[in-house]
A and B are shown apart, each in its own frame.
Chain A
Amino acid sequence: MMRRRQFLNLSVSTVGGILVFSVERNAFGMLPRDKTLRIPLRFFDENEALIVAAATSRIFPSDESSPGAKEAGVVVYIDRQLAGPYGRDAHRYTEPPFEDGPAEFGYQGKASPSEVYREGLRKLKGFENLSTADQDNALKEIESTHFFSLLHRHSIEGMFSDPIHGGNIDMVGWQMIGFPGPQMSYFDDVDKHFDEAFRPKPANLQQITGMKVVPSEDEK
């Protein structure tokens, strides 16, 4: 059954008025600050997306000095991952029996990442309306769950993966930490700059290679 098309509506002021990519990965351009951004969702419904946006913003908050999960579009990144092969466990061994084992051998559960999120978000109903202090408390309560470990891991991925995956919008994550993205050569620089921060202008994969790149979440 086709689900009703869902959108995440964000006021542009919350995403900082920065460069935003469409699903086709063409830049929308610099958006005026008084507009609302309508992002088509692939996996979440709007309510779920608002919870994820709020939760990842507590894991990776924005502050006066640098952007966070909200500006980087981490929720868009996670939405696309969960709708793709990763979200449905295309590469994980999912044969039974499923039995809890020692932590050293990893997650042994049956639920796929998309199922873990759906269940985890159901329990966080109303999260987006809480005060930030209450949001932090709610996250502390689930800190030891598999769902939270995914949320945490995906926040980092959404901050620092190539913008082609939907997060790290305008490379804000890379700029924040001084990572220049993929570069073809440091031949002339690798053994220099010993006493200084060397910060080449960041570039993403498509800019660097000039080639079309198909990210895994778009694979059939």
Chain B
Amino acid sequence: MKTLPAVDVVIIGGGWTGLLMAKELGTRTSLSIVVLERGGPRNPSDYATDMDELDYAVHHRMMQDFSKEPFTIRHSTGDKAYPLRELGNFLPGSGVGGAGEHWSGLCKRFVPNCFQAYSKTIERYGAKKLPEDHSIQDWGLTYDDLEPYYAHAERLLGTSGQAGNLRGKRIEGGNVFEGPRSSDFPTPPNKVPYFSSLFRDATKPLGYHPYLNPSATISQVYTNTDGVTRPACTYCGFCTAYGCMIGAKAQPSTILLPVIKKHSNVSIRTRASVRRILHDGPATNGTARGVTYIDESGEEVLQPAGLVFLSSFILNNSRLLLLSGIGEPYDPATGKGTLGRNLTHQVIVPAAMLFFEKPLNRFMGTGSVGMSIDDFDADNFDHTNLPFLRGGILRALSDTGLPIRTFGIVPQAVKGKWGADWKKAATYNYDRAASINFIGEHMAYKGNYMDLDPIYKDHNGDPLIRMTIDWRDNERRMVEFMTGKAVEIGRAMGAKEITPYAGLKRYEGTRYQSTQIRGGTIMGISPDVSVVNTSSQHWRVPNLFVLGGSTIPQGDSIGPTLTLMALTLHAADAVVNRYLKSPGKLV
């Protein structure tokens, strides 16, 4: 194995969090920084011709190559696990920018209550209300701790939206349930497409509080704090699964790479696939020495480094730590160990499919623009007499018009999925059907976790990560409740026919929900219940930091991109202002 000259910092994975950390350290220090990205390089010009639903959204041109490394999955510890042989329920990106290149651009802060989900639940309802096998816990930091970093992240992205709570003052039209924000959105809200406008006009008289989603597909030309200028979104509809061909959507390639490239102390090595984090001392204590990776030519090389940031895809963060023997693997039988625990996803279902008389022109929109209500999110409503805890968001999005994946929606009376009657009904309803979507919290449970698969291996011969995950009654009852609300809203919107969601059954590996898996290396108040502290520093290995969705203790409703950027900026401050001055445990 070849050994390269040592660098100060190695960053594993060049997605949102890895590149943001590279930008922060690269611009604020003179440290030598190497980003190792296992996919290829990216240029904004790569997306000039990507408006092809087949190659991008169906064949997943921008995603992790499952032929080399997929994940395995089972519903519970007693079951056999199967590989997810094709991409399905989530879509990890590959290449510089990672999933940040193909995200939808939904850009919302978490509600304050989310950070203290455990203590706030106990306070309001008592411990008995929690499901017996739950494992939710507080983050150890609060919304107020993170607020300045949220504001910073929004200025970087140029987020479009209308404030609903400016320094404690509630503002109608914005999301009145949001935490107090120190500053307004950098750019005004986006335009409102037809279907979303129907949702807005129907929910207001019902007493709800509709708002337009905050979005990184910006409403007007914007120059951010780093001097990066982006054009206004044109609502072409090719966002989720695509890179933005004009760069209106904030992507790592448009807002981070141009800044990084100006700093010679940062280099990005592509097609560099990390296999191990090297580590001195026992598994539960010690120092990271660097990493080994397979380079573009297929050779395994050792890159020594003084400081290691692990910022690969959520599940791969746990996998690399397990393969490297760093930390204590979680054991669901005893509840001991922390690495791999609290695997959560997001509950996303078409709560009510609505059929209208008029065409909706729904090919116009963006991945994130749409009207939402948070009246049933988090603990914004009283659960005392409800058979579940927590909640989520009901929304009418505008990005549902591309035909390969949406053709074929027909009213319940149409039987069969092919042939003349089906074709006629599906053609008629193609632009007349759209769903009120529910996006909800997935509570953490003792039985949902990750470990290494004992059978299936990747193309290097390393074990795959195994997900053990299923829904519980809390999610099923939540979806049932929200379906009822969605049907009520659908009627008020004037739908001539409504198909309610049939109900949540088992967790599916084939149905795309979101790429927002969470957990495995969660953040918390002590090494007994978490892998990293609130500065994203590994409890046992102080020169190792873990970034990304793997640090989120339990599922939130909205999706964590903005929060992950805020957490990364928060960690960067801890590193620059404290760790570098006095390396060691940050408490």
Contacts and interface: CB of A to CB of B under 8 A. Distances in A.
A178 B401 CA distance: 10
B85 A92 contact: yes
Nearest to A191: B191
B505 to A, nearest CB: 8
Contact of B49 (A92, A107, A177, A213): A213
Contacts of B457: 95
B358 A195 contact: yes
Interface stretch (A11-19, A25-33, A53-61, A119-127): A53-61
Contact of A165 (B54, B80, B408, B508): B54
Contact of B66 (A91, A105, A160, A211): A91
A212 B49 CA distance: 8
Closest 10 CB pairs of A and B: A182-B51, A185-B234, A161-B54, A101-B82, A160-B403, A186-B364, A190-B235, A191-B191, A177-B430, A197-B359
B427 interface: yes
B412 interface: no
A162 B52 contact: yes
A66 interface: yes
A39 interface: no
B225 to A, nearest CB: 26
Contacts of B430: 177-179
B234 A216 contact: no
Contact of B418 (A95, A104, A152, A211): A152
Nearest to A109: B85
A178 B431 contact: yes
Interface string A100-129: 011111111000000000000000000000
B85 A189 contact: no
B86 A185 contact: no
Interface string A148-166: 0000100111011110110
A34 interface: no
Interface residues of A, number: 67
A177 B403 contact: yes
Contacts of A193: 194, 361
A162 B361 CA distance: 19
A176 B427 contact: yes
A208 B233 CA distance: 17
B197 interface: yes
A73 interface: no
A161 B404 contact: yes
Contacts of A157: 54, 58, 404
Interface string B190-223: 0111100100000000000000000000000000
Contacts of B365: 190
B66 A191 contact: no
Contacts of A107: 85-86
Contacts of B574: none
B133 interface: no
Nearest to B63: A91
A206 B34 CA distance: 38
B423 interface: yes
Contacts of B509: 104-106
A90 interface: yes
Most buried by B among A105, A191, A215: A105
Nearest to A106: B510
A91 B403 contact: no
B49 to A, nearest CB: 5
B420 A61 contact: yes
Contact of B510 (A105, A159, A174): A105
A78 B66 CA distance: 22
Interface in B46-75: 48-49, 51-55, 58-61, 65-67, 70, 73, 75
Contacts of A205: 49, 51-52
A105 B466 CA distance: 13
B363 A216 contact: no
Contacts of B323: none
B424 interface: yes
Nearest to B398: A190
Interface string A117-151: 00000000000000000001001000000000000
Interface in B440-458: 455-457
A165 to B, nearest CB: 6
Contacts of B49: 205, 209, 211, 213
A209 B48 contact: yes
A210 to B, nearest CB: 10
Interface in B281-312: none
Given A177-B427, A216-B59, 9 more contacts: A61-B423, A92-B66, A93-B84, A94-B85, A102-B506, A105-B510, A179-B403, A213-B52, A216-B55
Contacts of B59: 86, 91, 216
A208 B197 CA distance: 29
A169 B70 CA distance: 35
Interface string B345-389: 000000000000011010111000000000000000000000000
B88 interface: yes
A99 interface: yes
A111 to B, nearest CB: 12
B419 A156 contact: no
Contact of B234 (A59, A177, A184): A184
A183 interface: yes
A95 B456 contact: yes
A91 B60 contact: yes
A63 to B, nearest CB: 6
Contacts of A211: 48-49
B54 A187 contact: no
A186 B236 contact: yes
